[in-house]
Homo-oligomer: A and B are copies of this chain.
Amino acid sequence: MDNVGSLEVRVRPFEVDFRGKLTFPLLMNQFLNAAGIHASARGFGITQLNENDKTWVLSRAAIELNSFPKSGEFFEIQTWIEGVMRTFTLRNFAVLDASGTVVGYARTIWAMIDVNTRKPVNLEGLGIEKYKENIECPIERSGKIPMLENYVESKFTVKYSDVDINQHLNSAKYVEHIVDVFSLQQFSGRDIVRFEIEYIEECHYGEEITVKKMEVSENEYVVVLQNEKEEIVCKSHVYFSEESKE
């Protein structure tokens, strides 16, 4: 089997925002979808891991896109494993538009955990490394996300439509709550050109989460999610394009 997975996706009309462009959380969902299909076809998908009480946990992602697909348009996500370490695996992605032009990349870092102990599993010798592929992924790795003193605060409670099959806030819903701190004006004529996220703690159904939006500059923000114990559950670094893209 080829080391690179490919998923072709058509943007449904209800998956776009007020600008008619695919929303960032739904792009994230498609990365997760492509990863799942790629892993399952090679014997290390979540369903297969679950049989041995293991699961994948997304730890970090860095995503860059210079063009977002619009309603009705097709795009392709390619994904491959860059490397396997003791406790982390590196999975990269490329996004291609309908003409086959690369419009973006993503780098993600995953841990495998035991579902009972929630502790990381040693990834070496599980046979994942034989699918390793050396393809260029010309975007920077996730960096350390800075914390700023000043912030604007909002809150949300984790609800029915936020949670996955484990009753935790699902990975793309973190992203939805993060992009929802930005106004329509912020998105007018600007795209998110780089997005970094660090998942730190699980959020459970019913928890009240505080979202702190910190402005680095007009087009660069840090968004931090905290739970009721004031633990940081997620950090993200959001870069908008500087000039009008319309």
Q: Is A170 an interface residue (CB 8 A)?
A: yes
Q: Is the CB of B172 within 8 A of A160?
A: no
8 Å CB contact of A14 from B14, B18, B29:
B29
Nearest neighbor of A184 in chain B, beta-carbon distance: B205
Q: Given A160-B180, A180-B160 in contact, is the A32-B14 Cβ separation under 8 Å?
A: yes
In the complex, which residues 1-23 of chain A have their Cβ closer than 8 Å to any Cβ of chain B?
12-14, 16-20, 23
Residues of B within 8 A of A170 (CB): 14
Number of interface residues of A (CB under 8 A): 32
In the complex, which residues 46-70 of chain A have their Cβ closer than 8 Å to any Cβ of chain B?
none
Residues of B within 8 A of A167 (CB): 18, 184
Since A18-B164, A18-B205, A19-B165 are in contact, a sample of 9 more A-B pairs with Cβ atoms closer than 8 Å, ordered by chain A residue number, is A14-B29, A14-B33, A18-B160, A20-B165, A160-B184, A160-B187, A161-B176, A161-B180, A184-B205
Q: Taking beta carbons and an 8 Å cutoff, which residues of A are in contact with B?
A: 12-14, 16-20, 23, 25, 29, 32-33, 36, 159-161, 163-167, 170, 172, 176, 179-180, 182-184, 187, 205
Query: What are 17 A-B residue pairs whose CB atoms fall within 8 Å in the complex?
Result: A13-B32, A13-B36, A14-B170, A14-B172, A17-B161, A17-B163, A18-B160, A18-B164, A18-B166, A18-B167, A19-B165, A160-B179, A160-B182, A160-B184, A161-B176, A161-B179, A184-B205
